[in-house]
């Protein structure tokens, strides 16, 4: 029984978010919480929110099926980051020119599952 959560249009570069997501993939949920809490990366905040949402979705799904899902039994089965749409902006450059700036966004997906399930 797996549950997922998706955070879309997070105003952070996918490359920077992937550094954090790579640390929690395949890790038990409680250990992932600890890793995110003490991470110095700013991307740890939206990844943590997505992880908490996935755990809450798993508990809700388990409750609907009539079973109790404990957060201690969950593991981060999948975690990945996709690139979202870029906000295109321009900055003033030398000699009256304009230099383009791409403000990138990310879609963060976290899937949690019970520890023994495959």
- What are the pLDDT digits (tens) for 48-100? 999 999 999 999 999 999 988 999 999 999 999 999 999 999 999 999 999 99
Q: What is the DSSP letter of 102?
A: E
In this structure, how many other beta carbons lie within 10 angstroms of the beta carbon of residue 64? 8
CA dihedral 52, 56, 58, 64 (to 10 degrees): -170
Q: What is the bridge-based pairing of β-strands 74-83 and 87-92? A: unpaired
Which DSSP helix (H) or strand (E) runs through 106? strand 106-114
Close Cβ partners of 16 (under 8 Å, ≥ 6 residues apart): 41, 42, 43
Q: Across residues 5-31, what is the average pLDDT?
A: 97
pLDDT at residue number 117: 67
> Which residue segments constitute the domains of the chain, with CATH numbers given?
3-114 (3.90.470.10)
Output 115 or 40, whichever has higher pLDDT: 40
């Amino acid at each position: 029984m797996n549950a997922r959560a998706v955070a879309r249009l997070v105003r952070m570069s996918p490359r920077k978010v992937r550094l954090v997501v790579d640390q929690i993939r395949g890790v038990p949920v409680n250990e992932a919480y600890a890793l995110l809490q003490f991470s110095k990366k700013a991307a740890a905040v939206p990844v943590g929110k997505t992880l908490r949402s996935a755990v809450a979705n798993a508990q809700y799904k388990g409750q609907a099926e009539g079973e109790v899902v404990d957060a201690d039994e969950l593991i981060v089965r999948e975690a990945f980051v996709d690139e979202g749409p870029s906000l295109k902006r321009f900055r003033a450059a030398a000699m009256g020119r304009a230099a383009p700036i791409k403000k990138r966004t990310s879609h963060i997906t976290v899937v949690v599952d019970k520890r023994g399930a495959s």
